[in-house]
Structure 1
Amino acid sequence: MSSDVLVSRPHFDSRAVAQGVPETEPHVRPEVPQPASGSATAGYRTAKYTPAEWFSNYHTILQQAGTDRREANSIQRESKSLYQDAETATLKTQAEGTRLLGERLQDIHCSRSELQRHIAQLLTDTHALLAQKTKLEKALDATETPYAIATDNLNCRARRPGPDLVRDSVEEELLKEVHLIRSVQALLKRTTAQVVSQIKMNREAKQTLELDWSDKYQAYNFDDHSGRYSNMSPDTRHHPSSATMQDQVCNSIAWTKFTEDNLTKALQEEHATSSLRMLVERVLQDTTDDLRHQCSCVDRAFSQRCVELIEAKTQLEMKLAQILEQIGAQERNIVALQEAIHNKEAPLRVAQSRLYLRSLRPNMELCRDEPQLSLEGEVRQIDATLACLQQQLSEARGSLSHLEESRVAVEKDINCKTHSLFIERDKCMTHRKRYPSISSLLGY
């Protein structure tokens, strides 16, 4: 017989290991001295149980096994119900998330489509404003030609001869035209500045919409990709921190208001652009009509002035012809008077010679007889006639001098009218034929 001491087997709890409960130290029963079983076992320790203990231990194991089995069945039923409920809830939650992602995709798509429509409208409006800006610049450049024409007309008319240097209707209309052109140029510059400012605001609004559209494009792609994830997707991973609420994240109301504010701003710029485009067209049309109307007024004034100059020149030429004819007649009259005076010298010499010879008569023969009285009367008559002829000759010569002065004055005035007519008709009116057309003034 072996002399080793028999000890009981240590207790091992398999349930605790299966449930992950730390293993506890086995309960060690205190050694109880067993009664001696005779001289054969004298001097030896024994670890044997009694039959009662064996039966007790056996029944305890059976009871514990039954209890464990019932507890396991209960846990299995609870676990099955739990994972079934969890699976159902998870699938329901996942389906709800997928549905919400789909609705979100529709919202993003609608917002993105609206943004894209306004972006295209702003782009169209900006291109239209750029075209109108070009028209305004061309119209502004076109006004330089009528301004140069009007100022050149004023400078040319300032070189008119003295008698014709008058402030007539032509000059008043030209001054009105210069003032109108300056006002039109200032208006076109202000309108161009408004167009440039509106183009800048349109581009800013368009850039804001494009940034919002780009963000929504990325968000749509992300949500679309997220909606395509399934439990069988191989590219899903754990991201524990993604479920953490972020302070800087906006809510749906703020998201909607942000896009609505951007669209409202874009709509305001579209309305402003539409109003400005109508204003530009009206400004171009009105300024063109005003310039062409004033040009017509100036042309009519020039035509009227040319008619007046031609009429005055014609009357002066007719008067000059009359004066020249009168000068010729007066010159012939002077010649006739001179001849008449010359013709009176011989009769006067005869009469005076007769009187002289008769004055030599002696004594009583020197009497005032009829011949004497006749000769004296003849001499007096001839002297009176000569005096009248001399007076008439003097007046005729004075008249001839006045006629010559009138002729010079009329000729000078005719030359003045001719020069003025050359300035008005051949220089100014010819230069005004270069006046810009309606299409040029409209900016085409």
Structure 2
Amino acid sequence: MDFMGSTATAQYTFMGHQPQQGSFLPSTRISDNRVSSDPSCSGIHTRSPSVSWCPAVYYRTAHAEPIQSLNISAVQPFSSTNYFNNIDSSKVPPIFLSARQALYTRYAPKDWHNAQLTNYLASDKICAASARLRSDAIGLAHEKDEQAFKNNFESSRHIAEIINDIEYWESELEKTKDNMKRKIDDVEFIQREVKRLLSETEKPLRIVQENLYEREKRQGIDLVRDNVERELIREVDTIELSQQKLRQMLERLGFQNALNFAGLHELERDVQDKSRARVLDSAAHNIQTTSSGIKFYEGIEYVDNTISVPESWTRYTQENIRRAVAGISQSDELLSATNQLMATIYDDIWSQWNHVNTSLENRLQEEKVAKNKIQSHLEKIRHEIVDVEQTIEFLKKTIADQEAFLQVAQTRLETRNRRPNVEACRDSAMLRLIQEVHDLHAAIADLYGKLRQEENALQLLLRTQSTLEQDLEIKNNSLSIDSEKVMSIRRTFIMGAPEKSLVTSVSFSQPHDLITV
């Protein structure tokens, strides 16, 4: 039986129970006071070996064999699991269980002074570590606060730059939208002008068709395919071709204006989106730590509902503006082409109208000349008819006179034929009377021949007179149609001149400090 014991500060390795590492203070659980059942130790109280600070006296047969070196503590309080070891490299003196229960509870003064010094040193080191920790915490707080202010400033600066970009593009979109609206108004104006010009072409077309219808009322030889009729048909072809070109131009203008309205819709939607984004970004820019309504939104930084990047964001607006500017440029080209087409159509119809009028005036002049010639010839025919009639009357009178002389001569012969006997002599008087009768018969026959010729000539003159009078009526009818029913409604050109639409050029400027794609 060995009597063994040790102080609480002795650094031995104890036999049997191995203390838990990382525990620096004795256990505070209730001790187990039991009476030993050993007869030799009856009446001696023992304590649980776990209560290391309470001494105990007992008898035990044991053989002490330390399992560790005496210069190495069984418990390493400055291991990586020790909190104070993380604070400072100085070692805090631990309090360990003795390997054996101490027989008495007395310490040496040196141990007492060493324990006090150790506690003071540990207190100073812990206070210094705490002060350093507090200084580090305050420095970290100031650093993070400064970083938070810097991050907030940088975020505000970036939001302000985005707001400036949005305002710039919004102004560009507004200018382009205003230009597009004016161009749509120009296209609509030129559409109305084209429609008006198309309706105006119906008036000369109706007139030329009426002219052709009226000229079909010409009679006889005057129902001819003259230069006037050819020019009238050419005028109909010109007007119908012009109407076809105007209808095609109306279709092109309508299609272009549909594209312009689509581009305007894209611009308005882009302006509306940018206005909404500018309002939201301005509201976000004005949010401060003192603003009301701010709160936590857990996980909001992981929510990504973006659908574009700065390059695509800029490209989208640039494409809208370029598309609108291209539409405006195409509209300008179409407006110029429409103005040129309307001017050309107006000039063509006006020129053909003048060609018809010139041909009609020439035709009227020809008809007047023909009428005057017919009237002149008719006057001659009438005079000739009068002369022939007088000649016929003269011939008839001459024949009557010749017949009277013939009667005289024949009566003389008949009277002398009643002479008696030898008195019926064929004397010179008898011969002369016979010759006179023969001469009178020949003269009367010649006169009757001339009379028949004159009568035939008179009939021919009368037929010619009738033909000339009929031709004169035809010419009068043609003159009446061409001058009163055709030329009278063509003296004034009833087609109004088209109004030109102004063509304005639109320039597109690239923004500064923005991504150009």
Q: TM-score range by the shorter chain?
A: 0.7 to 0.9
Q: Which residue of 1 aligns with 2:136?
A: 78
Quick one: distance in 1 between partners of 2:498 and 2:315? 47
Q: Which residue of 2 aligns with 1:250?
A: 308
Quick one: distance in 1 between partners of 2:333 and 2:395? 90
- TM-aligned CA deviation for residue 339 of structure 1: 1.1
Q: Which has the higher helix share?
A: 1
Q: Which residue of 2 aligns with 1:333?
A: 391
DSSP 3-state at the match of 1:52: coil
AA aligned to 1:250 is S
Alignment of 1:286 with 2:347, yes or no, is no
Q: Which residue of 1 aligns with 2:448?
A: 390
Quick one: distance in 2 between partners of 1:187 and 1:426? 33
Q: Which residue of 2 aligns with 1:16?
A: none
Kept after mapping to 2: 8 A contact 1:156/1:428: yes
Alignment of 1:202 with 2:202, yes or no, is no
DSSP 3-state at the match of 1:250: coil
Deviation beyond 6 Å, 4+ runs, structure 1: 29-33, 42-49, 56-60, 440-443
Alignment of 1:274 with 2:329, yes or no, is no
AA aligned to 2:409 is A
AA aligned to 2:261 is R
Kept after mapping to 2: 8 A contact 1:177/1:294: yes
Cα distance per residue 1:287-344 (max 9 Å; x no partner): 1111111111111111111111111111111211111111111111111111111112
Q: Superposed, which structure 2 residues align to 1:222-241 within 5 Å?
A: 222-241=280-299
Question: Structure 2, unaligned stretches of length 5 or more?
Answer: 1-24, 35-42, 48-52, 56-104, 502-517
TM-score, normalised by the number of residues in structure 2: 0.75
Cα distance per residue 1:6-49 (max 9 Å; x no partner): xxxxxxxxxxxxxxxxxx9955496799xxxxxxxx99999978
Cα distance per residue 1:81-102 (max 9 Å; x no partner): 2111111111111111111111
AA aligned to 1:151 is Q
Q: Rg larger in 1 or in 2?
A: 2
- TM-aligned CA deviation for residue 111 of structure 1: 0.8
Q: Superposed, which structure 2 residues align to 1:40-79 within 5 Å?
A: 50-52=105-107, 55=112, 62=120, 64-79=122-137
Match of 2:408 among 330, 347, 350: 350
Cα distance per residue 1:59-112 (max 9 Å; x no partner): 775555444323311210210121111111111111111111111111111111
Quick one: distance in 2 between partners of 1:29 and 1:242? 53
User: Structure 1 residues 441, 253: closer, same or farther in 2, change over 3 A?
Assistant: closer
Q: Superposed, which structure 2 residues align to 1:130-169 within 5 Å?
A: 130-169=188-227
| Aligned residue pair count | 413
User: Structure 1 residues 30, 442: closer, same or farther in 2, change over 3 A?
Assistant: closer
Q: Which residue of 2 aligns with 1:119?
A: 177
DSSP 3-state at the match of 1:412: helix
Q: Which one has more relative contact order, counting CA pairs under 8 Å at least 6 apart?
A: 1
User: Structure 1 residues 441, 92: closer, same or farther in 2, change over 3 A?
Assistant: closer
Alignment of 1:372 with 2:430, yes or no, is yes
Kept after mapping to 2: 8 A contact 1:292/1:438: no
AA aligned to 1:265 is R
Kept after mapping to 2: 8 A contact 1:145/1:435: no
Kept after mapping to 1: 8 A contact 2:33/2:46: no
Kept after mapping to 2: 8 A contact 1:288/1:441: no
Q: Which residue of 2 aligns with 1:323?
A: 381
Quick one: distance in 1 between partners of 2:420 and 2:500? 115
What is the root-mean-square deviation in Å for CA atoms of aligned residues? 2.7
DSSP 3-state at the match of 2:426: coil
Quick one: distance in 1 between partners of 2:323 and 2:427? 135
Q: Which residue of 2 aligns with 1:10?
A: none
Quick one: distance in 1 between partners of 2:403 and 2:54? 212
Quick one: distance in 2 between partners of 1:205 and 1:105? 24
Q: Which residue of 1 aligns with 2:87?
A: none
Quick one: distance in 2 between partners of 1:25 and 1:424? 141
Q: Which residue of 1 aligns with 2:163?
A: 105
User: Structure 1 residues 321, 105: closer, same or farther in 2, change over 3 A?
Assistant: same
User: Structure 1 residues 389, 442: closer, same or farther in 2, change over 3 A?
Assistant: farther
Alignment of 1:305 with 2:363, yes or no, is yes
DSSP 3-state at the match of 1:210: helix
Match of 2:323 among 246, 265, 278: 265
Quick one: distance in 1 between partners of 2:490 and 2:498? 15
- TM-aligned CA deviation for residue 263 of structure 1: 1.1
Q: Which residue of 2 aligns with 1:184?
A: 242
Quick one: distance in 1 between partners of 2:214 and 2:473? 17
TM-score, normalised by the number of residues in structure 1: 0.86
AA aligned to 1:354 is R
Quick one: distance in 2 between partners of 1:240 and 1:217? 28
Kept after mapping to 2: 8 A contact 1:119/1:209: yes
AA aligned to 1:400 is L
- TM-aligned CA deviation for residue 58 of structure 1: 6.4
DSSP 3-state at the match of 1:249: coil
